[in-house]
Structure 1
Amino acid sequence: MALAPWPPSRSLSHSPPPPPSSARAMSLSSVSAASQGKVGVVQMTSVGDLDANYATCSRLTKEAALAGVKFLCFPEVFSFIGSKDGESVKLAEPLDGPIMQRYCSLANESSMWLSLGGFQERGPDDSHQYNTHVLIDESGKVRSSYRKIHLFDVDVPGNMVYKESRFTTAGDTVLVVDSPFGRLGLTVCYDLRFPELYQCLRFKHQAQVLLVPSAFTKVTGEAHWEILLRARAIETQCYVIAAAQAGKHNEKRESYGDSIIIDPWGTVIARLPDRLSTGFAVADIDLSKVEAVRTKMPISEHRKFESIWKSSSP
């Protein structure tokens, strides 16, 4: 696991899965021993009921395990989406609390890594939480947790005003984790609009797979979701796994959906058959493809911006 303060220094299931295949776990510069690389990306509609959401997550995890998935990625706010301001803060728990321990047991029982984006972690005071991306390994151990850096304080045109910072405290640490599926860069939702974070994950911390659990609004999703995700994949030459909330959660909130997996060339290699259904899509992460793309187009060697930035006058 690699940690770094943010911002960086001025140097800068519905469709049947494909048959199982193997991918390669890769070191920072070369491909090493083969390992299973079958990953799944979930699409779901969370509601204001912890038990109902867990039942959905549990069902999808068990279905994914039967399909041979070894790493399953859930969207932001997978465990709870409330309909009233401040409701999630009252439910917020530490990572060793009963809510997360339930999901740890699920990972252990299924022998599967889980990416749980956007958990309501207890914050620094009674009126704030952290929006935390939690990574659990196949033994049920919390391997890492990333607190969302960029908070969604936005007046969405023709939609609603969102003020995430009213109840959420931002994180300040970039997180990269080594796993059997590559070197994982953890982010959450609105982070997607800030390419410097993804540049830091790739070029400073050598990420190979970027995780973007999200709950994009319908308006912003229609306009920007896929194009931003593909841009992040292309400019970093990483796989991107983007699990999304979908449909109407309550009378106030609706999410765009469209959970997808994108390869390092920017091609969508897995998605659900529609934007609203609950289920998961499956793809194989082949880290030799990351190596091949980066070798043929060595942008890491051609980057000049850091040196230009350092030498520029204030």
Structure 2
Amino acid sequence: MSLWFWQTPHNTLPVGPKPVVTRQHHQPYRSLRLPARVIASAVDSAMAAASSVRVAAAQMTSTNNLASNFAICSRLVKEAASAGAKLLCFPESFSYIGVENGDSLKISEPLDGPIMQGYQSLARESNIWLSLGGFQEKGKDDEHLCNTHVIIDNEGNIRSSYRKIHLFDVDVPGGMVYKESSFTEAGKDVVAVDSPVGRLGLSVCYDLRFPEIYQLLRFQHESQVLLVPSAFTKVTGQAHWETLLRARAIETQCYVIAAAQAGKHNDKRESYGDTLIIDPWGTIVGRLTDRLATGIAVADMDLNVLESVRTKMPLAKLN
């Protein structure tokens, strides 16, 4: 599996020189005989390339400025598309992070509103699928919204949406108290959707601490890639972020793409960062070198690797 980071030069898949056969006048055509091992190696390389697909995960520091956040997302979409990624995943609250809890309610919109339409245009213009985690979707009443993970295809169509089930009602060590349920309606449905990079299992941030949802995504919904857009706090991120993500990858034998918010959004809120892409063996295959930087991590996922891990350690037979 090849991987690279946006801060490093672009690595391309190895391609051998194209053989050229010159046929002169009055010379009989002579076929080129290659050793069997060379042919087998070429076939293996071609099969690996066919099963490999490039994905990207974005890291950013969203604020309460919708236009500024959109401009950053637009730039990252173009970078991911230029890198050859088929899917770009954004973190939770990519479009907006308010200063006060009520701020998100004020800007919340239905999925067919102008904010989401702008991101649909980005996907269409750059011919790339987008995972938009943690969109402030208008709820059933004026007092609540839904924390919604939206999947958009490369033609700008909404393919699926998942509403966050596990809401962040936590007293974080250090004195911060969060009560997401005070303004957010919890979702009820576990959601997976097919895509060009495999079958995607959708979740949002705090869901990560509840392995049951990922077991359902893997063994009932047949997910191959788990998406975990997040805005982990600095304290909880330092303690548990990487450990939880690698555990979810190992126990489900799925790729995990975890796009993260990073740094200080305002005087009251700070996110841990450390955007990661992890393979089904629990190995980190994509990561920004700067935990707090705005940018993208890129990796090539190989579904043959996924199937190999599942075949050699057949957990599905026990479920």
TM-score normalized by the length of structure 2: 0.86
Specify whether residues 175 and 134 from structure 1 end up closer, same or farther in structure 2 by C-alpha distance, changes over 3 A only: same
Q: Describe the superposition over 1:164-190 as per-residue Cα deviations: whole angstroms up to 9, x where unpaired.
A: 001100000000101111110000000
Q: Which amino acid aligns with 2:242?
A: E
CA distance in 2, matches of 1:283, 1:260: 10
CA distance in 1, matches of 2:298, 2:263: 21
CA contact (8 A) 1:17 1:282 kept: no
Task: Tell me the secondary structure at the aligned position of residue 219 of structure 1.
Answer: helix
1:171 alignment partner in structure 2: 187
Task: Tell me the secondary structure at the aligned position of residue 63 of structure 1.
Answer: helix
Q: Which amino acid aligns with 2:300?
A: D
Given the alignment of the two structures, is residue 248 of structure 1 paired with residue 264 of structure 2, yes or no? yes
Given the alignment of the two structures, is residue 74 of structure 1 paired with residue 90 of structure 2, yes or no? yes
More off after superposition, 67-76 vs 214-223: 67-76
CA distance in 1, matches of 2:14, 2:203: 27
Q: Which amino acid aligns with 1:227?
A: T
CA contact (8 A) 1:17 1:283 kept: no
Task: Tell me the secondary structure at the aligned position of residue 258 of structure 1.
Answer: coil
Give the one of 53, 74, 78 matched to 2:69: 53
* Stretches of structure 2 lacking an aligned partner (at least 5 in a row): 1-5, 16-46
Structure 1 residue 37: Cα displacement: 1.1
| Higher gyration radius (CA) | 2
CA contact (8 A) 1:135 1:143 kept: yes
CA contact (8 A) 1:77 1:215 kept: yes
2:157 alignment partner in structure 1: 141
CA distance in 2, matches of 1:285, 1:271: 14
Structure 1 residue 67: Cα displacement: 1.2
2:26 alignment partner in structure 1: none
2:108 alignment partner in structure 1: 92
CA contact (8 A) 2:149 2:204 kept: yes
CA contact (8 A) 1:150 1:170 kept: yes
After superposition, residues 103-182 of structure 1 pair within 5 angstroms as 103-182=119-198
CA distance in 2, matches of 1:268, 1:146: 26
CA distance in 2, matches of 1:113, 1:215: 21
Q: Which amino acid aligns with 2:120?
A: C
Given the alignment of the two structures, is residue 298 of structure 1 paired with residue 314 of structure 2, yes or no? yes
CA distance in 1, matches of 2:96, 2:140: 20
Give the one of 15, 22, 39 matched to 2:8: 15
Q: Describe the superposition over 1:227-266 as per-residue Cα deviations: whole angstroms up to 9, x where unpaired.
A: 0000000000000000000000000000000000000000
Structure 1 residue 19: Cα displacement: 1.9
CA contact (8 A) 1:21 1:37 kept: no
Specify whether residues 20 and 77 from structure 1 end up closer, same or farther in structure 2 by C-alpha distance, changes over 3 A only: farther
Q: Describe the superposition over 1:126-159 as per-residue Cα deviations: whole angstroms up to 9, x where unpaired.
A: 0110000000000000010000000000000114
Specify whether residues 85 and 227 from structure 1 end up closer, same or farther in structure 2 by C-alpha distance, changes over 3 A only: same
CA distance in 2, matches of 1:73, 1:140: 15
- What's the C-alpha RMSD, in Å, of the aligned pairs? 1.7
Q: Which amino acid aligns with 1:15?
A: T
Q: Which amino acid aligns with 2:246?
A: R
CA contact (8 A) 2:52 2:302 kept: no
Given the alignment of the two structures, is residue 284 of structure 1 paired with residue 300 of structure 2, yes or no? yes
Q: Which amino acid aligns with 1:40?
A: A
Give the one of 224, 248, 254 matched to 1:232: 248
CA contact (8 A) 1:246 1:254 kept: yes
Structure 1 residue 60: Cα displacement: 0.7
CA distance in 2, matches of 1:84, 1:277: 24
* Stretches of structure 1 lacking an aligned partner (at least 5 in a row): 1-12, 23-30, 304-314
Specify whether residues 59 and 21 from structure 1 end up closer, same or farther in structure 2 by C-alpha distance, changes over 3 A only: farther
CA distance in 1, matches of 2:101, 2:76: 29
CA contact (8 A) 1:35 1:180 kept: no
2:221 alignment partner in structure 1: 205
CA distance in 2, matches of 1:45, 1:201: 29
Structure 1 residue 35: Cα displacement: 6.1
Q: Describe the superposition over 1:97-136 as per-residue Cα deviations: whole angstroms up to 9, x where unpaired.
A: 0000000000000000000000000011001100000000
CA contact (8 A) 2:52 2:303 kept: no
Structure 1 residue 300: Cα displacement: 1.1
CA distance in 1, matches of 2:62, 2:280: 30
CA distance in 2, matches of 1:16, 1:81: 32
